[in-house]
């Protein structure tokens, strides 16, 4: 072993015994790494450099930093900047929007978040077709928000989420059964399933007018049901009102769907980013 290796091994053994000595201290001569040693104190190495590296000279840098691309500036050893590495011809990882010209780093601002960097041309390209699909999906979410938005009926705010629609469908089903079924038992069971308080003599009345669908439908639609509103309060509504609210909600959704179809078509026919960004749907 060379004296250099023997000294390194000796210090390594000493430091292993010390356990707490866990920092690597480096000796640089200029930008060249000459020696590394373990120590628990950078200051101790600086104050007693020869104890750690017998070949130490006063022109050396002692540091706990390990430089990948060292450079000396203002008598200080430090890491090269990306620009300095490029000037030195050192291969450097470039970020989108950057390219090298005459050993200088050129940065081109991204025109918009919809542009992607083309390394072949060193230019930002617009993915207009991809952006059209992204924009259309955005408007699709607007459509869903409109469809399932709360519904104001005479100052009463109804929740109209996907889960809430089931409750409206149950009432509609009861009314449908009343206008199509000839089985009074089925009608009565359908109504009771909705936990409606039916008036006295309701079953007999249904049996008596079972053939008269118009009258029967009126009887069913005048039944009342308790309904929980947006603010968690409970109010009473007739089947007819609930069915009417459901119809209005469907019509509102149909109108929103027609608006979406028009705006989606406009989106996919856009010829530029400016035209696409000008499309709004509030």
Asked if residue 149 lies in contact with residue 137, where contact means CB atoms within 8 angstroms, the answer is no
Asked if residue 90 lies in contact with residue 69, where contact means CB atoms within 8 angstroms, the answer is yes
Of 142, 146, 134, nearest in space to 276 by CA: 134
- In tens, the pLDDT along 89-115 reads 898 889 999 999 988 999 999 988 888
- Average pLDDT for 173-193: 70
Residue 35 pLDDT greater than 60, yes or no: yes
Q: How far apart are CA 205 and CA 203, in angstroms?
A: 5
Question: Which residues touch 69 (CB under 8 Å, ≥6 apart)?
Answer: 79, 80, 84, 85, 88, 90
Q: How far is CA 37 from CA 4, 45, 150, 247, in A?
A: 12, 9, 71, 82
pLDDT band at 196 (very low <50, low <70, confident <90, very high): low
pLDDT band at 20 (very low <50, low <70, confident <90, very high): very low
- In tens, the pLDDT along 197-221 reads 667 777 677 766 666 666 777 777 8
- The strand pair at 76-79 and 60-63 is best described as unpaired
């Amino acid at each position: 072993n060379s004296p250099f290796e023997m000294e390194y091994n000796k210090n390594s053994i000493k430091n292993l015994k010390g356990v707490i000595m866990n920092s690597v201290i480096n000796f640089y001569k200029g930008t060249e790494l000459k020696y590394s040693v373990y120590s628990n104190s950078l200051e101790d190495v600086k104050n007693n450099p020869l104890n750690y590296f017998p070949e130490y000279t006063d022109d050396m840098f002692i540091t706990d930093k390990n430089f990948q691309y060292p450079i000396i500036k203002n008598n200080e050893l430090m890491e090269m900047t990306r620009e300095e590495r490029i000037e030195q011809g050192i291969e450097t990882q470039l970020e989108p929007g950057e390219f090298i010209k005459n050993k200088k780093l050129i940065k081109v601002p991204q025109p918009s978040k919809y542009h992607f960097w083309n390394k072949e041309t060193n230019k930002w390209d617009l993915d207009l077709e991809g952006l059209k699909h992204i924009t259309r999906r955005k408007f699709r979410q607007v459509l869903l928000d409109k469809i399932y938005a709360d519904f104001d009926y005479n100052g009463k705010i109804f929740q109209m989420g996907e889960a809430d629609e089931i409750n409206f469908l149950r009432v509609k089903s009861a009314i449908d059964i009343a206008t199509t079924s000839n089985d009074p038992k089925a009608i009565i069971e359908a109504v009771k399933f909705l936990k409606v308080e039916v008036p006295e003599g309701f079953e007999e009345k249904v049996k008596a007018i079972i053939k008269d669908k118009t009258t029967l439908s009126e009887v069913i639609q005048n039944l009342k049901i308790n309904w929980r509103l947006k603010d968690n309060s409970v109010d009473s509504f007739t089947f007819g009102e609930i069915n009417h609210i459901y119809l209005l909600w469907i019509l509102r959704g149909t109108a929103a769907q027609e608006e979406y179809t028009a705006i989606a078509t406009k989106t996919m026919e856009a010829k530029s980013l400016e035209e696409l960004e000008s499309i709004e749907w509030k």
